A = this chain, B = another copy of it.
Amino acid sequence: MVIRTGSDPARVLREAGLRATPQRLAIVREVLERNHPTAGEVFEAVRLEFPTMGLGTVYATLNMMSERGLLNVLPVSDAVRFDANIQPHANLICNQCGSIVDFDDCDDVLAQLRERTSAGAGFAFAAEHIDLYGTCARPRRPPRTS
């Protein structure tokens, strides 16, 4: 079971052994609606609806969901970002505007890569993290500050 737009978030959480609190449902919604947000970005968004929400709670929830396999973790330079797409995939990261979009049209190439690692040096493949940096077709300002 995965979380995605259209699925029942409460059910997904409970199947993973997590309680479906209103705060958590809001966190799930923001992760789905936003573009690979950081914990801080989720916090800012959810706080509009739940002013008493604590940043620690956001971290606890996102980390819990990652441990249960509901989210992918993307360590980028400045902070950790979370992705509801738990399928192995590459990310296209724009150097101009900082956008991160999933690049799904390369499953066959990634499959080759995995096979190659098993063949070379007896490496038992488990997971991958693939970021491709460049400039996207329509970079929105502002250019990234980092």
Report which A residues bind B (CB closer than 8 A): 73, 75-77, 80, 90, 92, 94-95, 101, 103, 105-106, 109-110, 112-114, 116-117, 120-137
> Closest chain B residue to A136 by CB distance?
B123
Known: A77-B75, A77-B80, A113-B90. A134 touches B127 (CB 8 A): yes
Q: Are B106 and A132 in contact (CB under 8 A)?
A: no
15 A-B interface contacts by CB (under 8 A): A75-B76, A90-B117, A101-B121, A103-B123, A106-B113, A110-B113, A112-B112, A113-B113, A123-B135, A123-B136, A126-B134, A127-B132, A127-B133, A128-B130, A128-B132
Q: How far is the CB of A87 from chain B (nearest CB, A)?
A: 15
